[in-house]
A and B are shown apart, each in its own frame.
Chain A
């Protein structure tokens, strides 16, 4: 279902009822609508995987703010994705303790295992490979997240198991 946007004269998609309900629940305890900009971006991303230009415009309209301002907010935060990502996002910690414990080698090994480099998505659309700030598990370095799961004390031997089980869970 599409509606016309009178200001830009473009068609923008309507957010789903579920998305609107979740965003409105945040608005209910906020002093003004665009105070929930980040929550709204995260809600839509949780449903759609990423925030497209069309989604961004629809959120901005619902929050009564400009799409440009909302995009300025969206692009500030590294965990709001303005490009499509794979089914699961790999967040590899590249902060100092993981560096001491060899994340650079691990980055190379993961890249070879999946055929991607940081910033890329695998050809089967399963994984997007990204770096992340210290994950707060430095006693178990090196660490990474794959989707919602934290993997600790990672060894190259673990990789086929981690990515196979992640794929199986997906299937």
Chain B
């Protein structure tokens, strides 16, 4: 843990007291140099090549290569008319609190990244789709956008180039499903946030039927650093095959819950023990969700794994958003999973049956078990639900399969605890424990 030599591009402007950096402060620390360096000097194709070579992967949870996503956007005259860039700032995955930090502390970093991203795909309208509750971030972003128009970083002929871009903040009205990129597009069109069938993919037919790229806040914050310093520099930041840094978070019964920018591939043990300070006194680690509420449990056996997309994927989970939720020994695993499944049941958009009817059924079975009314056959029922609801392809989008990840892995790693609830007709944690 040697932070003195650690390069932390994303959080270099983050003050210890979390006060936001304004235009003057951002420019004083080299801000908008990436934009100035690129405008009129790098072509969109050259920018795309740099992002592709950097191996930047989407930080919203899926880890899809950003450059590849962008490469599907029709260029030149292949699709005349508007193209759109959307920043997904609808941070709502349970246990995830990384984008809030970037939005509230350094709004210009996101905007500079968005201008360069829009330039690369030649989008002329950009939206920041932000959850309603992020009021401070919305206010800071609106002010920052106004300042950018004054400075000529937004609007017509940016910095004298022939590239023009307008940017808007859209504050949402709630619902987790808006974070799914096609649901987000439906919501931005003023509709119910039902996800859409793919194909067509948004890169070809997205917002109002036009080519659209949706990227996460943290992904877009990386862009200007990569354009400015190059793909090799970005690759050199990661400790493993995956490039760059990552905002990692830990929440639950640890001594120092928080969010830190660390090299991609930092070992899980280092994040939990060194940065999060280890478990609170009197609590032991039993398991953790590595990247938000829709990722599979990992356990003590996985602490020495590198926290990157491929390593965590091979271990049977997903790095997701990179913000871990810790299950301790005084918290009931059934109650933990029940809380998550109830969340996903509530947040279902209601479009497809396995999600709309299946998730409340799962939540009901888990509640029966937690309340001490579970029956032996409930374990078979839960297994079937995992099989049917969890399989991609049975549902319209990834919400319900995501809900099944903590349930499936909970049944795998904590099966005895489920069975103890049923055989004892009570939750073993309800007396003396937390839950």
Residues of A within 8 A of B (CB): 29-31, 34-39, 41-42, 72-73, 76-80, 91, 94-97, 99-102, 104, 132-141, 145, 148, 150
- A136, B96: Cβ atoms under 8 Å? yes
Q: Could you tell me how many residues of chain B have their Cβ less than 8 Å away from some Cβ of chain A?
A: 55
Are the C-beta atoms of A100 and B336 separated by less than 8 Å?
yes
Residues of B within 8 A of A79 (CB): 132, 172-174
**Contact B174 A97, beta carbon cutoff 8 Å:** no
Given A100-B434, A138-B96, A139-B251, A34:B190 Cβ within 8 A:
yes
Q: Which residues of B contact A150 (CB under 8 A)?
A: 133
Contact (A97, B325) CB under 8 Å given A29-B166, A42-B171, A138-B249: yes
In the complex the two chains form, is B99's CB within 8 Å of A136's CB?
A: yes
Asked if residues B190 and A73 are in contact (CB atoms below 8 Å), the reply is yes
Given contact pairs A73-B190, A101-B252, A138-B97, a sample of 11 additional A-B residue pairs in the complex whose CB atoms are under 8 Å apart: A36-B190, A41-B173, A77-B173, A96-B336, A99-B435, A100-B331, A134-B93, A134-B96, A136-B100, A138-B94, A138-B249
Residue of B174, B187, B340 near A96 (CB, 8 A) is B340
Whether the pair B190, A99 counts as a contact (CB closer than 8 A) is no
Stretch binding the partner chain, chosen from B35-43, B227-235, B253-261, B307-315 = B253-261
B323 proximal to A (CB < 8 A): yes
Is the pair B176, A133 in contact by a Cβ cutoff of 8 Å?
Answer: yes
Please tell me if B168 contacts chain A, counting CB pairs below 8 Å: yes
Q: Which residue of the partner chain, among A29, A97, A139, A145, contacts B133 with CB atoms under 8 Å?
A: A145
Contact partners of A29 in chain B: CB under 8 A: 125, 166, 168
Measured CB to CB, the closest approach of chain A to B55, in angstroms, equals: 27
Chain B positions 132-189 with a Cβ under 8 Å from a chain A Cβ: 132-135, 166, 168, 170-176, 187, 189
* A158 shortest CB reach to chain B, Å: 18
Contact among A34, A95, A132, A135 for B339, CB-based, below 8 A: A95
Interface centre among A99, A101, A139 (most CB of B within 10 A): A139
6 pairs, A vs B, C-beta closer than 8 Å: A35-B208, A73-B190, A78-B173, A80-B174, A100-B253, A139-B251
List chain B positions with a Cβ less than 8 A from chain A: 91-97, 99-100, 125, 131-135, 166, 168, 170-176, 187, 189-193, 208, 249-253, 257-259, 293, 323, 325-328, 331, 335-336, 339-340, 343, 347, 349, 434-435
When distances are taken between beta carbons in the complex, the residues of chain B under 8 Å from A97 are: 94-95, 251-252, 325
- Let me know if B133 and A91 touch, CB within 8 A: yes
A148 vs B325: C-alpha distance when bound (angstroms): 26
Report yes or no: A139 in contact with B347, Cβ–Cβ below 8 A.
Answer: no
- Name the CB-closest residue of B to A75: B192
| Chain B residues, CB < 8 A from A34 | 190
User: Are the C-beta atoms of B343 and A96 separated by less than 8 Å?
Assistant: yes
Q: Which single member of B99, B191, B343, B435 contacts A73 (CB below 8 Å)?
A: B191
How far, in angstroms, from A139 to B97 measured CA to CA in the complex?
A: 8
A73 to B194, CA, bound (A): 11
- Max chain B CB contacts within 10 Å: which of A137, A138, A141, A145? A138
With A97-B94, A136-B91, A141-B251 already in contact, the answer to whether A80 and B99 are too (CB < 8 A) is no
> In the complex, what residues of B have CB within 8 A of residue A30's CB?
190
Which chain B positions have C-beta within 8 A of A95? 94-95, 293, 339, 343
A73 contacts B253, C-beta separation under 8 Å: no
A134 to B37, CA, bound (A): 39
- Known contacts A38-B172, A38-B190, A91-B133; decide if A134 and B339 are in contact (CB<8 Å): no
Of all chain A residues, the one with the shortest Cβ separation from B135 is A148
Cα(A77)–Cα(B174), bound, Å: 5
Which of B99, B133, B434: most chain A CB closer than 10 A?
B133
- Cβ A96 vs Cβ B173 within 8 A: no
Whether the Cβ atoms of A133 and B92 lie closer than 8 Å is: yes
- Please measure, in the bound complex, the distance between the C-alpha atom of A140 and the C-alpha atom of B326, giving whole angstroms: 14
From known contacts A35-B189, A38-B187, infer whether A102 and B434 are also in contact, taking CB-CB under 8 Å. Answer: yes
Complex CA distance for A145 and B91, rounded to whole angstroms: 16
Pair A78/B175 contact, Cβ less than 8 Å: yes
Return A126 CB to nearest CB of chain B, in Å: 20
A70 to B99, CA, bound (A): 31
CA A73 – CA B189 in complex, angstroms? 11
Give complex CA distance A34, B188 in Å. 11
Decide: A137 and B192 in contact? CB cutoff 8 A. no
Q: In whole angstroms, how far apart are the Cα atoms of A84 and B162 in the complex? A: 50
Do B258 and A99 have beta carbons less than 8 Å apart? Answer: no
CA distance A141 to B192 in the complex (A): 30
Chain A residues with Cβ under 8 A from B193's Cβ? 76-77
